[in-house]
Structures are given as structure tokens and as C-alpha cells.
Structure 1
Amino acid sequence: MGHTTIDTAAVAERDRLDFWRSTVCDQFVTLDVRPAAGTDVHGRVTAVSMADTQLRKIAAGAHRFERTTHQARTADEDYFQIALARKGRTLVAQDGREAVIGPGDFVLYDSARPFRFVTAGDFEYSVCLFPTRLLPLTRAELGAATAIRFDGRSGLGAMVPPLLAALHRLDPESLPAASRTAIMQSIGDVYVALVRSRVDAAASPNVHLMRAQAWIDEHLADPGLAPADVAAACSISVSYLHKLFGETGTSVAAYVRERRLQGCYADLARSGCDQLTVGAIGARWGLPDSAHLSRAFRARFGVSPSVHRARSAGSGAG
């Protein structure tokens, strides 16, 4: 879809509250929308989609937005989100943490769990909603980075404001489907960098874990790759290897599976691999059984490998 702007000024005053609540839930995720002004609400949302990534701008008066446990559990899709403040101050709460953001600051938050936004007055945000299923991050990593203030003017955080501004200016419909997919993958890489900057800051990196992950990444093409091989290559015991991965909220097998599926996902969208069959791509990543690949891919990404490839090539792409 192209750019769409929805404004409460377009409807009668008596209908604005219901219209606004419906708009926010439709354009973001289902949540409780409570404007401080009651029925006298004024708000505007601008929406654009980039492949599976949703980009939004929202401006309104003082509000309280709250995602409940029930709403999170009954959602069809989970999104890991960036909210960049452009105007006003907001209290953001999730996972037992609270952060206050002002213009130029942003937070990460997860629609899979309850969260709360309380604005001090008029506000404007830029919001990026990225499907959590496409992020190669563990639940522990995701949960460690929510409701923490990032400074959008310095360090790693300085990448986010110009990125969101550029994405809002793009016309996705004018881009080839492969370009949209590549942009979406780049956005996902930014999410990973942001999350891991917080996770790494909270815990000293384990050299053995880093070495094991690097060795696995170099040997993913081997379908017989096993924990014993990894442990032997890193001169540690198998039990210690499992302990290292367990401390990150995952397992050796889950890490290998995720890296392989992410590799297949990227190759299926890459024009340089369009002459390879799905089975051949799976084999390059240590998944030679096409039926197993299809099941695992669908469970991870919500679509079959062939559908993902067709969408990336432009067939059926939105």
C-alpha cells in the first residue's frame, strides 16, 4: 500500500472517540486507548508498509495507551516495535521497567507482552512495527531491551531517526519487491544491533560462547553438525556447551536451526539464488530434507519457502 493518512477531523465530533480508538488499534496493535480529553479527541495517523514492516506516524493530545495480557495473548501477529518521540514526553513501561522519553529519544517494546504509554501532553511519534518472527533473537534478548531509553542523537541510536525519516519518505509501490525485502532485512539488522547493544552491556561476553557460535556459523552446511562436534572444536565439554547456550535463553539445536532458517530465508529472497531450487537452497544450509525444511520454515516464518520466494520476486507482493 502507499501512504495513508487518517485524521479525526474527517469525521463528526460525536463519532471521533470511537473512530480514533478503532484507527489506533487497526494501524498499530489492539490496545486500550484512553485520551485525556475524553470525547474531544484530535489525532492523526500516517501509515505506510514496507514488505512485512509497518511504519506509522501518530500525533494527538495527552493519552494513555495500554496493551493488556489478554490482548497480547490473542493477537494474530507479534511485533517488536520502535517508538521514536518527536514531540512531548512519555512514560513507557514494560517487563518491570519504566523509561521516560522526549524528543529525539526512542524505546523498544514488544506487543507479545503487556505495555503502557502515558503521555504528558501533546505528542508525536514515529513507530516501526517489525514482525518478531523474523528476528533471530531469543525471548531473553528481546525481554532485556524493552522500556529502556535510547538516545537518538548519539552512538548506535543515532541511526534510527534518519532511518525512520527516510522510510517514511519512500514510496514502496515504486520499488521492486526484491528491494522492499532487502530494506526490510536491513531494518531487522538494526533491531538486532540495538537489542544486542543492551544485552551485551548487561552481561560480559563469554569467549567460549562466542567461539562456539562462530564455529557453528562456519559449519551450518554440514547436516550432521552436532553439539559434540562444536564442543570438541572449542575444547569444552558438551555439558558446558549446553550450559552456555542455556544461559542465553536458547539451546544449541535451536541456535543451529535458527541460523539455518535465517540463511534460507535470505537466499530465497536473493536474486542471485533464483536459479536454485528450494531444496538446493536448503541443502546449502544443512537442511537437505525438503519436507522438513518446508515444515520448519512455515512454523518459523508463517509461510512456505515457495510463497516467501514468490513474494520476494514480486508475485503476490503487496
Structure 2
Amino acid sequence: MALVTIDTSAVAENDRLDFWRSTVCDNFVALDVTPTPGGLVTGRVTAANVADTHLRRISSVPHTFVRTEGQVRRADEDYLQIALARRGRTLVVQDGREAVIGPGEFVLYDSSRPFTFATSDSFEYSVCLHPKRDLPLSAAEMAASTAITFDGRRGVGALLPPLLSSLDRAVADELPEAGEAALARTIGDLFVALVRSRVPDGAPNLHLVRARAYITAHLGDPDLDPARVAAACAISVSYLHKIFADADESVAGSIREQRLQGAWADLRTPHLSIGAIGARWGMPDPATFSRAFRSRFGCSPREHRQAQI
């Protein structure tokens, strides 16, 4: 986990702006990087990687950072990210929401959709970029958690600042590949806890609650489908699809996601065979299970299990 530090003070003043923009885009994701006009650009980035998870620290003068729709389309980065404010105040905009973070507060944001960071003064962030393919979270869960202020001093949010600080101290140590993979999983588990710590706003649709409960209780049934869920809830299939669409989900997608998340967790323990795990979660055909798992997580069930050893 080699630590790399990049500082604009090492570059001639006339070259600093271009150098700084390249540094930010190379170490984070492609962005429009716009310092406040009128002053000399100064900035510093420290970077380390833990397996495929990227840890960054950035400080500079006031800026606006914009991830555009065009940059999203052209890029292959697909990260869920955390930015923890160490200094300064920042407005963060994504998914139709706005959040303001100050020291000790943080936000989640997604590289696969446009976002804006606008700082009001000089700033410093700790940033963690975690591959979305390694997170057993639905697209709806991730989209519901962006651009919301988390307090890094209370609740589950209080776990983040000490973890990032300890990682800052640990990056100089050389870890074997298995150790890095285990550490990256720990970071991923915190992302999941943060996303799922949010309480949805508003009263839930009771039909949706019942449908979700029925799905959860019958995930092991390979014949589970929208028609069976609708019949169990005494509603039409079309209405079932509507209430899931209103929640930015699909019925089939919810069934598939929960099955794969359950399989992901079970593969961490060796006492069940891979085939038995697939069958337990309603996917008795090994080839179908393997294809669905690889499509969701970017690796086969066997590769995921071997990574836990």
C-alpha cells in the first residue's frame, strides 16, 4: 500500500493549473476542476490503494469540481465514494439533492452520475472510492444515499473518521494480497452500513411492505415471480409493478438482488457447497447462478469464495 504525495509547490507557477487538473482527474475521476479565479493555485494530494479501493486526501484553495454527463458517458470508473470534510465547508449536489458538509461531516456520492462540489473557502477532504461491483447494494439503495449530510461524530457515521485516520497511518505498511483484500472488504462493509443506516422519508406503501416481506420470506423458491407475489398480496400484477417502479425498483430486480446478496454473504463461510448456496437462494442451476453472480459482482461464486480464504 505505497503512499504517493503530489504537491503543486514542486511545479513552476505557469504550469501549476494544468498540472493540478491532471493530478485531480488522475487520482479521482474525470472532472471539470475550477479554482476560484485570482490567486495562485496550490494543492496537495496523497494517494494509496487497498486492493481495488482507493484512499485519497486532497487539500487546496477554494474550488468548484463538476462531474458532467459527458464525462460519465466516456468513463469506465464506477465507484461509490465518501468525502469526509477535514477543513472548510462544501456544497455537494447530486441526484436532485443538495448537502453542505463542514469539518467532521461527510457525504456519499456516485461516480456513475453527474455531481458538483463547490467549496466556500480552502478545504481538505479524506476521500474513499470503493468499486460498486463489490458492494451488495441495489442501485436504488445507493441512489437514495447520495448528497445527504452524515455526521461523523454520531451513530454509525462515527465509525468513519477513525477508520480513515487509521488507514492513513497503515498505508505505509506492506500487506500481503489476502490482507489487502480483507481490509477492502471491511471498508465495503462500512459503506453498506452507512447506506442502510438511512431511514426512508414518508409513510411506506403497505402493499409494497407486504410484497417485500413476501419476497424476502420466499427467496429460496425458484418459482418465485411477480405473479406469485401479486397473488399472495391480493393485488394485480400491474399494480405490483407500479408500486415497485414508484420506489425506483423492479420486482424481478428486487428478487434477483436479494438472492445474490444472500449468496454473497453465504459464500464467506465454507460449510455449504457453492451449488447448495445457489439452490438455497432460489437459483438451483449452477450455470445460471454463476452467470448472474458474475454479472452483478464481477467475479464468479468460486472466485469470491477463494478471496475470503
TM-score strictly above 0.5: yes
Residue 85 of structure 2 corresponds to 85
CA shift digits 1:232-283 (9 cap, x unpaired): 4445554443333222111221111111122223333x1x22x655433322
User: What CA distance in whole angstroms lies between the structure 1 residues aligned with 2:234 and 2:159?
Assistant: 39
Kindly indicate whether the alpha-carbon contact (under 8 Å) linking 2:79 and 2:112 is maintained by their aligned counterparts in 1: yes
Amino acid at match of 2:91: L
Q: Could you say which residue in structure 1 is the equivalent of 2:285?
A: 289
Matched residue type, 1:186 = D
Instruction: Tell me the secondary structure at the aligned position of residue 128 of structure 2.
Output: strand
The answer to whether the aligner puts 1:46 opposite 2:58 as a matched pair is no
The aligned counterpart of 1:301 is 297
**Matched residue, 1:55:** 55
Q: What is the correspondence of 1:129-278 to structure 2 with a 5 Å cutoff?
A: 129-171=129-171, 173=175, 176=179, 179-194=182-197, 196-197=198-199, 200=200, 202-268=201-267, 270=268, 272-273=269-270, 276-278=272-274
Once the two structures are TM-superposed, the CA of residue 135 in structure 1 deviates from its matched residue by 4.1
Question: What letter corresponds to residue 40 of structure 1 in structure 2?
Answer: L
Shift of 1:155: 4.4
Q: 1:148 is matched by which residue type in structure 2? A: I
Give me the whole-angstrom Cα distance separating, in 2, the residues matched to 1:222 and 1:184. Answer: 32
Deviation at residue 124 of structure 1 after TM alignment: 0.5
Aligned length: 306
> Aligned in 2, Cα 1:178/1:110: closer, same or farther, shift over 3 Å?
closer
Is residue 62–residue 123 contact of structure 2 (8 Å, CA) maintained in 1? Answer: yes
CA RMSD after TM alignment: 2.9
Rounded Cα–Cα distance in structure 2 between residues aligned with 1:311 and 1:255: 26
Distance 2:109 2:205 in 1: 26
Question: CA–CA distance in 1 between the matches of 2:239 and 2:140?
Answer: 19
**TM-score, normalization: structure 2?**
0.84
Q: Which runs of 5+ in 1 are unaligned?
A: 314-318
Matching residue's letter, 1:173: L
CA 181–161 in structure 1, closer or farther in 2 if over 3 Å, else same: closer
Provide the TM-score with structure 1 as the length reference: 0.82
Give, in angstroms, the shift of residue 3 of structure 1.
3.2
Alignment partner, residue 6 of structure 1: 6
What per-residue deviation string (whole Å, max 9, x for no partner) do you get for residues 61-115 of structure 1? 1212111111011221222222111101222222333333221222222212221
Structure 1 ranges of 4+ moved more than 6 A: none
1:316 aligns with none
Identity of aligned residues (%): 60
